[in-house]
């Protein structure tokens, strides 16, 4: 019931841009990958630009699509994160003009443009959001913290808990594939 009206059950929906279904965030990751690939494809007309400008375009038009919203995304499975990482890898190959069959490691590409792996980027963004909520004494943060403390090891595979993921892995190793 919302504002006195009965709301029918729906198998899926969107909340602040996050697509949620009874199976978790799989549809969200799929749609974000599709949108980021589309944004990257539109940038290919600028392939002759300087690498710094292309990196700026990728950071402005592709990465925000992949990383929104960071709180639920950073706690996703390795498989879901790797789908996002593949798009970021393609974007970096575009930036430095490397073809897929050039034998360059993704780690060296990330280091050459000073961009972290997507799992590290999402982890950092999520921890910053939680830290800001804590510093501002946001009432909802306190409620979520109490819920997390009440059942510290309880989690669901389709809906992973962000605070638990931050606590379990405070400094994640970068995954470039």
Residue spans per domain, the chain: 12-168
User: CA 51, 54, 60: angle at the middle one, nearest 5?
Assistant: 140
Predicted confidence at residue 19, as pLDDT, reads 84
pTM, two decimal places: 0.87
3-class DSSP assignment, residue 68:
coil
Taking 80 as the threshold, does the pLDDT of residue 23 lie above it?
no
Q: What does the alpha-carbon distance between residue 58 and residue 160 come to, in Å, rounded to a whole number?
A: 28
Q: What pLDDT, in 10s, does the model give residues 75-90?
A: 888 999 999 999 999 9
More confident residue, 25 or 168: 168
Predicted confidence at residue 158, as pLDDT, reads 66
Strands (E), the chain: 12-15, 18-21
Taking 70 as the threshold, does the pLDDT of residue 65 lie above it?
yes
Backbone φ and ψ of 24, nearest 5°: 100, -145
Confidence of residue 93 (pLDDT cuts 50, 70, 90): very high
């Amino acid at each position: 019931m919302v504002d006195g009206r009965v709301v029918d059950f729906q198998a899926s929906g969107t909340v602040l841009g996050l697509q949620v279904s009874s199976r978790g965030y799989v549809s969200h990751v799929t749609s974000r990958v599709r949108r980021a690939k589309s944004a990257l494809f539109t940038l290919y007309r600028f392939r002759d630009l300087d690498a710094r400008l292309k990196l700026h375009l990728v950071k402005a038009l592709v990465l925000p699509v992949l990383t929104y919203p960071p709180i639920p995304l950073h706690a996703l499975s390795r498989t879901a994160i790797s789908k996002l990482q593949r798009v970021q890898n393609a974007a970096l190959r575009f930036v430095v003009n490397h073809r897929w069959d050039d034998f360059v490691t993704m780690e060296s590409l990330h280091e050459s443009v000073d961009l972290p792996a997507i799992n590290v980027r999402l982890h950092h963004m999520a921890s910053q959001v939680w830290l800001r909520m804590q510093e501002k004494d946001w009432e909802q943060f306190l409620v979520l913290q109490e819920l997390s403390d009440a059942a510290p090891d309880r989690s669901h595979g389709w809906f992973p808990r962000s605070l638990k993921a931050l606590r379990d892995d405070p400094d994640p190793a970068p995954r470039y594939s």
